[in-house]
Amino acid sequence: MVKKMFKLLLIEDDATLFQEIKDRLTSWSYDVYGITNFSQVMQEFTAIKPDLVIIDIQLPKFDGFHWCRMIRSHSNVPIVFLSSRDHPTDMVMSMQLGADDFIQKPFHFDVLIAKIQAILRRVYNYNTEQIEFKTWCGATVDYQNNTITHNEGSVELTKNEMFILKQLIEQKNKIVTRDALIKSLWDDERFVSDNTLTVNVNRLRKKLDELGLGRFIETKVGQGYMAIEEAQPL
């Protein structure tokens, strides 16, 4: 089988840093694209069809948060933020907008590679599994298209949100620890803030609430999370 060459879109306006990152990623056999017109990021994104997006926060015209929001409105492609800004709200904002990870500049290149590899392995491996649909609490969970349908309503999840839900459903009525979820999601917990998992689970539960399913994901304080099959008495 021929190994897939992943296409990465690097949205970075610092030409020197862009070239340095591109050269390093290219040496790892990634096909790296940049943005030629920062007023037309979405047009270039649509034309390139990348497998993963790496984006800076501070950009010309509009910031990275704006473009993350725009990309998420059209695609569930994995998104990784790179930023020299170190305020905690930046990381929280990126997660709330649907980003998969946040790396602060200056960063060690090995960390960037490890995160990219983990995300690509997670996103593009679990989508190839034989089981594509799962019935849970009367809802149809579509692992392939990252959607949940219940009572004629439907919501779309990000890759991270679906991965978390899948782990919980496959072990329903059992507590899945936070450490287990972190290790499953990012392969190496040394590179992950514990807050990142909290943000992803809260975002997942909020979407499930739209279908009346939020209460089926329980938080076990000091332990982890559990997907239940039947709602507990209110």
- What's the CATH number where 174 sits? 1.10.10.10
Final residue belonging to a domain, choices 107, 126, 145: 126
Average pLDDT of the segment spanning 162-188: 85
Residue 76 CA to residue 69 CA, distance in Å, equals 11
Residue 55 CA to residue 77 CA, distance in Å, equals 12
The pLDDT value given to residue 208: 95
How many domains in the chain? 2
Give the predicted TM-score (pTM) of the model. 0.61
The pLDDT value given to residue 233: 38
For the cut 50, the answer to whether the pLDDT of residue 51 exceeds it is yes
Q: Are residues 118 and 57 in the same domain?
A: yes
pLDDT tens digits along 61-95? 899 999 999 999 989 899 999 988 777 888 888 88
Q: Which domain holds residue 155?
A: 133-227
Q: pLDDT class for 144, splitting at 50, 70, 90? A: confident
pLDDT tens digits along 37-48? 999 999 999 999
Report the share of the chain in percent with pLDDT over 90. 49
